[in-house]
Amino acid sequence: MPANSGKGRALDVIGVGPEVTWSRKSAAEFDRARYDRQIRAFGAAGQNVLKSLRVGIVGLGGTGSIVLQELAHLGVTDFLLFDPDVVEESNLNRLIGATPSDVGLPKVEVAKKWAQHISPNIRVDARQESVLKFRTLRTLADTDFVFCCTDSHGSRAVLNQFAYQYFGPHD
């Protein structure tokens, strides 16, 4: 059984034609007006899939904060965030949602605040921890997707090995 609690492969597309068919079904409700353009592309079932996902983002700097913002705007509502760092003044030109008053605060807390600004119903588990610690890393197994947005070779190597071990095809 895959480590992601047997949820199956998120966003497996079964068929594309006049309509997109998804392997994952969900009865989630969403604001049809807000997501109108992507419903036109992915269908209501695709929007339901997006809303049902649990996404992990490791690294909430320039890339991670943008990934979080875009996924929140797309309708993803459940996030697990990891970054051990705090906001520095030199980060302000690339951290989405960060202001000078955020200097010294954990990047994950600034990211959580910004995500909840986009959509108040978003669930964010923000952890100021490093994925180099196994206890921390292991919690990512309960997500559907993990975005590696780190700036260190060590954390990238650990996340790559983790992905091979927990998210690869299983019989």
pTM of the predicted model over 0.75: yes
Nearest to 137 by CA among 115, 112, 156: 156
Does residue 103 sit within a domain? yes
**Which residue would you say has higher pLDDT here, 132 or 31?**
132
Find the CATH number of the domain harbouring 157.
3.40.50.720
pLDDT given at position 32: 79
Question: 32: which residues sit within 8 A by CB, 6+ positions away?
Answer: 39, 44
CB 58 within 8 A of CB 159: yes
Counted domains in the chain:
1
Output the CA–CA distances (angstroms, integers) from residue 60 to 3, 18, 79, in the order listed: 24, 37, 12
pLDDT in tens, 82-125: 999 999 999 999 999 999 999 999 999 999 999 999 999 999 99
Mean pLDDT computed over 137-158: 92
pLDDT given at position 164: 85
pLDDT in tens, 32-46: 788 888 888 888 888
Range of the structural domain that residue 85 is part of? 32-40+55-166
10: its two tokens: 């998120």
Does residue 162 sit within a domain? yes
Does residue 14 sit within a domain? no
